Amino acid sequence: MRTENGNRRRWEAGQSRAELNTSRIAEQAKVLASHSWEHGTAAEALLELYDPHLSVFGDEPFPADKVPYTPLEETESLSYAKPHILLDAGTLIRDEHATGDPAALGVSAVLIGQSDPEYVKAAWRQAKHLLDSAPRWQNGAISHRKAVAELWADFGYMVPPFLAYYAIVSNEMRYMREAIDQCMLYHEVLSTGSLGKERGLWHHIVGPEKKDLGYWSTSNGWAAAGMARVLATMKKWKPTAAWKEEQQMLVCYIQEIIDGAMRTDDGSGDGLLRNYLGDESWFGEVSGTALLASVVYRVAVLEPEPYGDGSWDGYLAWAHSKRAAVERHVDAATGIAAPAVQPLDHLLREPLMTGSPEGQSFVVLLYAAYRDWSRNGGGNS
């Protein structure tokens, strides 16, 4: 059995009881994960929790404008991700149905590749598969699915952050440009044209097989959180730090989603957002709530002022209330966050009470985002 890495032991040695509960939540994410996107999301959550300096949200994630070398045995996230990454396939992990989901392990592969170049080669094959083999929507958006051209908001967390990160290791700007373009093309199709309170939210799925025009809270979280990762990568890498127009566009897209989530938040569900935003027939649940709230903390650090007039104060007050609601729904003994939507059946009316793999990771991402915001002086605002 692999022992815990040194960074994690040092992290836990100085933490409060509440923070140690986050470690328990993260352990449940690892135990419950079984699908490509779940492994990738758990790896990202572990990175942001235990090794925030390696995350794109860190102060200097690209020393000398390069992907940093980090010993595998000292990095919980990479030790977790490595066994799930394939070195003999065109994608990082086998997935019969999805084009986008295997890319969720892309950042892990690139980081591991700094000590084992075979993993960078695997990341290259994954990028090549996305750009050259995946179906495309008529506007050029890469399909999230293999069989047909179909756009899922979930794609936003899997593919654009990986392509943006791969730009650094390859030193090729075209991958960063593709990451930004994919955010724009997905926004073009999925962002609602509604003028009502749902305006700015993204439809879950547009396409011929799994069409779902509802505003699933988790998929809106996927999209917003993914764009926040692309934004951070672009801002922290010197060759693209001056791309102000593209950065402003992503901030605008993210803010539109958060605005929509706030407008459709009816305050019920014990403070949790409903599974489908704006639909009061749905239960409140932790997954979408945690991920959307985490984005507010991230973007408030990345961009001190929101798009347009005003400040982040109202957004932060909302995020604080959502964070408190999520915390009330975590079992301190087990680390399980519930109620959660069933991730494999988002239309199921019965909430999952035994733990969602992605939901557990989202709660970790929320804690890490809040902690980093506080350390950046947010706790004094």
With cut-offs at 50, 70 and 90, classify the pLDDT of residue 2. very low
Q: What does the pLDDT read at residue 18?
A: 52
Q: Grade residue 307 by pLDDT with cuts at 50, 70 and 90.
A: confident
Question: Which helix (H) or strand (E) segment is 52 a member of?
Answer: none
Closest CA to 254 of 146, 157, 128, 131: 157
In a 3-state reduction of DSSP, which class is residue 145?
strand
pLDDT at 16 over 80: no
Structural domains of the chain in order of their starting residue, each with its CATH number: 23-380 (1.50.10.10)
Contacts of 289 (CB under 8 A, 6+ apart): 217, 272, 273, 322, 325, 326
| pLDDT over 60 (residue 45) | yes
Structure tokens at 364: 């970790």
Whether the CB-CB separation of 160 and 208 falls below 8 Å is answered with: no
Q: What count of other Cβ atoms lies within 10 Å of the Cβ of residue 376?
A: 17
Instruction: Identify the pLDDT of residue 343.
Output: 94
Instruction: Please work out, in degrees rounded to the nearest 5, the angle formed at the alpha carbon of residue 103 by the alpha carbons of 99 and 105.
Output: 145
How far is 173 from 267, CA to CA, in rounded Å?
43
The contacts of residue 115 (CB under 8 Å, 6+ apart) are: 69, 70, 71, 72
Residues 6 or more apart whose CB falls under 8 angstroms from that of 99 comprise 129, 130, 134, 135, 142, 143, 144, 145, 146
pLDDT at res. 17: 47
| Section 97-104 average pLDDT | 98
- SS3 of residue 177 by DSSP: helix
Task: Report pLDDT digits (tens) over 122-132.
Answer: 999 999 999 99
pLDDT confidence tier of residue 303, bands split at 50, 70 and 90 = very high
